[in-house]
Amino acid sequence: MTVSYNFAYLDEQSKKMIRRAILKALAIPGFQVPFGGREMPLPYGWGTGGIQLTASVIGPDDQLKVIDQGSDDTVNAISIKHFFQKTAGIAITEDTETATLIQTRHRIPETPLKKGQILVFQVPIPEPLQFIEPKRPQTLKMHGYEEYGSMHVKLYEDIARFGRIATAFDYPVRVHHRYLMSPSPIPKYDNPKLHRSPAVLLFGAGREKRIYAIPPYTDVVSLDFEDYPFELEHWEGACAVCGSTQSFLDEIITDDNGTRVLICSDTEFCRKNAGSSQP
């Protein structure tokens, strides 16, 4: 006996509810909109928030790309792709340029996004103020009254301890000069890509049941100090596969002697780049 699901697994009422939350999130950039998160057939922490957003906005003509840590072929990415292939029968792609919908965990593709594309982020902890103020009613008030000064305490602690802002991922940003937002655990290297992005950026936190969004062409500013400005990480060397120096590089240990190589974290970008440099 075959079990048939609704298109993209979620029932239409749930999709409607999530789409309403998305519209509200887009209307108030960076504001966390609570939504009635549904049980999905994968564990919390694996992208239940992202998968619900994807299921709600996906259509039969969409080309879906799923990446995990920049890679198209990790278990998590492949499972989510299979899931939508099975339940929605949509086309799967690895090509960032032709994809209309990209679900991501931990990275923004190196290939610049275009108008009309939607990027869905999987978010574990949506509340950037949680480190400073664990009480939810208090953080709501801090957002409401724009009391964000103490967020800098986190950066202060970094400088006091390490001599620089050591926060390397989930680096807090101000969206549209108003709401403080956690950009999900993307490296801070990707923060500038959020700024005035032509694509729609949607963030879904399944366990915490929050949705937030950055509409296209919105200002996104990373927090910093006057005397310790926001800086991007850089690497000594280039990608061992494609030779790129313009992408986020992972350090990979290749043997028991501690030999290390740097390789692009975005596998699709790396493959394309390698192909074009070695015709």
206 among known catalytic residues? no
Quick one: which of 147, 167, 178, 238 contacts another protein (CB under 8 A)? 147
Quick one: which of 16, 141, 177, 260 contacts another protein (CB under 8 A)? 141
- How far apart, in whole angstroms, are the C-alpha atoms of residue 197 and residue 140? 27
Nearer to another protein by Cβ, of 224 and 250: the residue is: 224
1 interacts with another protein by CB under 8 A? no
Quick one: which of 149, 236, 258, 259 contacts another protein (CB under 8 A)? 149
- Active site residue: 30, 37, 49, 206, which one? 30
Nearer to another protein by Cβ, of 148 and 248: the residue is: 148
275 among known catalytic residues? no
Nearer to another protein by Cβ, of 165 and 200: the residue is: 165
152 interacts with another protein by CB under 8 A? yes
163 among known catalytic residues? no
Cβ pair 106, 77 in contact under 8 A: no
242 among known catalytic residues? yes
- Active site residue: 37, 47, 204, 239, which one? 239
**Pick from 225, 223, 235: which is nearest to 160 by CA?**
225
Instruction: Name which of residues 160 to 189 contact another protein (CB under 8 A).
Output: 160-161
Q: Which of these ranges, 18-26, 115-123, 142-150, 198-206, lies near another protein under the rule CB under 8 A?
A: 142-150
Q: CA-CA distances (angstroms) from residue 72 to 81, 90, 261, 274?
A: 10, 17, 20, 16
227 interacts with another protein by CB under 8 A? yes
Cβ pair 90, 62 in contact under 8 A: yes
Dihedral in degrees, nearest 10, Cα atoms 257, 259, 264, 266: 0
239 among known catalytic residues? yes
**Could you tell me which residues come within 8 angstroms of residue 248 by beta carbon, excluding any fewer than 6 positions away?**
70, 107, 110, 187, 189, 190, 264, 265, 266
How near is the Cβ of 226 to another protein at its closest, in Å? 5
Take residue 197 and report the two structure tokens written for it.
Answer: 């992005």
Nearer to another protein by Cβ, of 154 and 195: the residue is: 154
Cβ pair 94, 268 in contact under 8 A: yes
Nearer to another protein by Cβ, of 163 and 279: the residue is: 163
Strand order in the sheet with 179-181: 179-181, 173-175, 220-222
- Active site residue: 36, 204, 242, 258, which one? 242
**Pick from 214, 150, 143, 215: which is nearest to 179 by CA?**
143
Question: Catalytic residues, which ones?
Answer: 30, 239, 242, 264, 270
Contact set with another protein (CB under 8 A): 132, 141, 144-145, 147, 149-153, 156-157, 159-161, 224-228
